Amino acid sequence: MRFSEFNFRDEILEGIRASNYETATPIQEKVIPPILDGRDVIASAQTGTGKTAAFLLPVMNRLLENYIDGQVGALIIVPTRELAIQINQHIEGLSYFTNLSSMAIYGGNDAQNFVAEKKALQHGTDIIVCTPGRMIAHLNMSYVNMKKLQFLILDEADRMLDMGFQDDINKIIRALPAKRQNLLFSATMPRKIKELANKILHQPVEVNIAIAKPPDSITQKAYVVFEEQKLPLTLHLLQEHAFKNALIFCSRKATVKQLTKMLQQKKLSVAEIHSDLEQKDRENVLLKFASGRIPVLVATDILSRGIDIDTIDLVINYDVPGDGEDYVHRIGRTARAKADGTAITLIGEKEQNSFSAIEDLLGQKIEKAKPPSSLGDVPAYNPGKKRKGKRNQSKRKFHRQQPKKSFKK
């Protein structure tokens, strides 16, 4: 279905054409019509399915049809600063030919930013994208004006609840007018999400897009290794693959910091992103990464849903992600904009069961590549087998060996 068939206003269609959108994705086909009809919607969809445009386009169209100057028209609540910034950038592009205004409101900014946010909430900005904690900080000061709010959108609602934002979300909702259109998007639909939906949605249209399988444009493979072999293998992979941007995911920020330091000691141009960094530092790192000044970035899952850089052509899962959905989110950072990409997962001996569960959820087996001989012995891939203690200490010497190639990125 083409976007021209949705009966959008001309200025919205101009923004769509300028953004090079032509054909709607499945989530867009199912979600846009009921939103345009004024219905509440609850949708299950992964990142990368086009869900952001699925709610932005009809919401912007309806705001233009019922424009109220000097008021907040739509409030979009998201779990992270990165996602807030990304969605606001989408709004700026899609609304370029309209008079709609928007602002991303999130923590970690300086006092000057807080003042600008206060002004937007007092005097009205058409679309506000916010993180829960920052919005609560403004609500506590009693100047937020949401009296004419038309839309409430909760994006990645499951992640927000997992991060402990339920009380904040409930408090924000209590500050909103009862009459409004509600849209809830979530990658999964656990009991907590259904309970939240029952509280805020009125006779919603339900849309369920099955877990997005990684596209064929992503070459997937994995290496089964001992934990101490992951660093030399990562060095080998960075030397072996010709890439523009490589993104390495770790499950813990302590691992991110340690791995970044080790790679820097090997004279690699590499930076790190995790929750301990100030927002301005994160933005600076992402700018350097996107421009190619820093070709390698090590990050926690904070970036698995909040980064859209077309030049990422190599993703390495240094740790096996928590579940299949996290895996899809991580490797989905590559092969953007119809490009090809490579996704490699390093499977530690104790992570085999977790990776096998991911394969089961995806309905496919990932190729287990043969590690370089310089690593020495590696464990067999045998998920389900009980692991006993530590392997013989005499077999640990290999971790001091490093690949002989020089890093030329």
- Which tens digits make up the pLDDT trace of 61-115? 999 999 998 899 999 999 988 889 989 999 999 999 999 999 999 987 778 889 9
What is the CB neighbour count within 10 angstroms for residue 117?
23
Give the three-class secondary structure for 66: coil
> If you ran DSSP here, which 8-state letter would residue 153 be given?
E
Q: What is the predicted pLDDT for the residue at 409?
A: 40
Share of the chain above pLDDT 90, in %: 66
The span from the CA of 337 to the CA of 320, in Å, is: 26
For CATH 3.40.50.300, the residue range(s) in the chain are 3-208, 218-400
What is the CB neighbour count within 10 angstroms for residue 353?
14
Q: What is the predicted pLDDT for the residue at 310?
A: 83
Looking at residues 257-277, what average pLDDT do you find? Answer: 93
The span from the CA of 182 to the CA of 116, in Å, is: 26
pLDDT in tens, 195-205: 999 999 999 99
Looking at residues 311-340, what average pLDDT do you find? Answer: 86
Mean pLDDT of the chain: 88
The span from the CA of 217 to the CA of 220, in Å, is: 9
Residue 390 banded pLDDT, cuts 50, 70, 90 = very low
Q: What is the predicted pLDDT for the residue at 399?
A: 38
Find, among 69, 72, 82, the residue nearest to 125 by Cα. Answer: 72
107 CB-contact burial (10 Å; exposed 0-12 / middle 13-18 / buried 19+) = middle
Query: Would the pLDDT of 375 be above 60?
Result: yes
| pTM, entire model | 0.63
Residues 6+ apart with CB under 8 A from 3: 13, 16, 21, 22, 23, 24, 57
Give the three-class secondary structure for 147: coil
CA-based radius of gyration for the chain: 23
Q: What is the predicted pLDDT for the residue at 405?
A: 43
Structure tokens at 297: 């970035």
Looking at residues 375-396, what average pLDDT do you find? Answer: 68
Residue appearing with tokens 């600076």: 284
Find, among 347, 353, 249, the residue nearest to 306 by Cα. Answer: 249
CATH class of the structural domain 3-208? alpha beta
Residue appearing with tokens 């850089």: 309
Query: Would the pLDDT of 20 be above 70?
Result: yes
* Better-predicted residue by pLDDT, 326 or 347: 347
Query: Would the pLDDT of 282 be above 90?
Result: no
Residue 189 banded pLDDT, cuts 50, 70, 90 = confident
Give the rounded distance of the alpha carbon of 271 from its chain centre.
19
The span from the CA of 391 to the CA of 44, in Å, is: 43
Looking at residues 312-316, what average pLDDT do you find? Answer: 95
pLDDT in tens, 207-234: 988 666 787 889 999 999 999 999 999 9
Helix count and strand count (H, E) for the chain: 14, 14
Looking at residues 338-361, what average pLDDT do you find? Answer: 90
Query: Domain 218-400 adopts which CATH fold?
Result: Rossmann fold (3.40.50)
pLDDT in tens, 94-108: 999 999 999 999 987
The span from the CA of 150 to the CA of 280, in Å, is: 32
Find, among 17, 407, 2, 60, the residue nearest to 241 by Cα. Answer: 407
Cα 355 to Cα 189, 196, 225, 369, 377: the distances in Å are 22, 31, 13, 14, 20
Looking at residues 352-364, what average pLDDT do you find? Answer: 87
Q: What is the predicted pLDDT for the residue at 358?
A: 87
The span from the CA of 407 to the CA of 180, in Å, is: 56
Long-range CB contact pairs, 23-26, < 8 A, 24+: 24/50, 25/49, 25/50, 25/54, 26/209
Looking at residues 226-255, what average pLDDT do you find? Answer: 95
Residue 306 banded pLDDT, cuts 50, 70, 90 = low
Query: Would the pLDDT of 400 be above 60?
Result: no
Residue 393 banded pLDDT, cuts 50, 70, 90 = very low
Residue 388 banded pLDDT, cuts 50, 70, 90 = low
User: Which parts of 106-257 are beta strand (E)?
Assistant: 127-130, 151-154, 181-186, 205-208, 218-224, 245-249
Beta bridge pairs of residue 71: none
Query: Would the pLDDT of 182 be above 90?
Result: yes
Residues 6+ apart with CB under 8 A from 107: 81, 131, 133, 134, 137, 279
Residue 391 banded pLDDT, cuts 50, 70, 90 = very low
Find, among 108, 94, 123, 79, the residue nearest to 17 by Cα. Answer: 94
Residue appearing with tokens 């990409």: 341
Give the three-class secondary structure for 398: helix
Q: What is the predicted pLDDT for the residue at 380?
A: 94
Cα 387 to Cα 229, 378, 381, 384: the distances in Å are 18, 14, 12, 9
